Structure 1
Amino acid sequence: MEEWIQRMRLAFSNGKLPNIQEQMSLLGYTTEKLDGLLAKVERLQELHQTQKTEYAEQYAETQKFDQKFTEINDLYTKHLAFCKILFKGDTLASASLDFAGKRKTAYSDWLVQVGNFYSQLLKNPNFMTKLQGINIKEEDLKAAQNRLSEIIALKESQKKETAEAQKATEARDKFFDELYPQYSEFVAYAKVALSQSQDLEALGIVTKRG
Structure 2
Amino acid sequence: MVTKKTLSEAEALEQYRVSLDNVEIQPEIATTMAEFGYDSTVVAEGKTLLTETRQVFDFNETEDDETSDAYAAFKLLKASLAETYRMHRKKAKVIFRNDPKTMDKLAVSGSLSKAYIKWLETVKKFYSVALKDNKIQGKLVRLKITADDLTATNTMISDLEAARAEYLREKGESQDATKAKDAAFEKMDDWMSEFYAVAKIALEDKPQLLESLGVFVRS
1:124 aligns with: 133
Equivalences for residues 1-210 of structure 1 within 5 A: 1-16=9-24, 17-194=26-203, 195-209=205-219
Distance 1:92 1:165 in 2: 47
Q: How many Å apart are 1:65 and its aligned residue?
A: 0.6
3-state DSSP class of the match of 1:133? helix
Distance 2:34 2:154 in 1: 70
Distance 2:49 2:36 in 1: 20
Distance 2:16 2:187 in 1: 13
Distance 1:185 1:28 in 2: 11
Name the aligned partner's letter for residue 74 of structure 1. Answer: E
Name the aligned partner's letter for residue 117 of structure 2. Answer: S
Equivalent residues of 1:13, 1:34 under 8 A apart? no
Q: How many Å apart are 1:56 and its aligned residue?
A: 0.8
Moved more, 62-71 or 131-140: 131-140
Please list every run of 5 or more consecutive structure 2 residues that lacks an aligned counterpart in the other structure: 1-8
Distance 2:79 2:56 in 1: 35
Q: Normalization by structure 2: what TM-score?
A: 0.91
Please list every run of 5 or more consecutive structure 1 residues that lacks an aligned counterpart in the other structure: none
Runs of 4 or more above 4 Å deviation: none
Percentage of pairs with the same residue = 28
Q: Normalization by structure 1: what TM-score?
A: 0.95
Deviations 1:103-140 (A, max 9, x none): 12222111101000111222223212212222322121
Distance 2:109 2:161 in 1: 26
Q: How many Å apart are 1:80 and its aligned residue?
A: 0.5
Alignment: residue pair count: 209
Equivalent residues of 1:61, 1:158 under 8 A apart? yes
Distance 2:165 2:141 in 1: 35
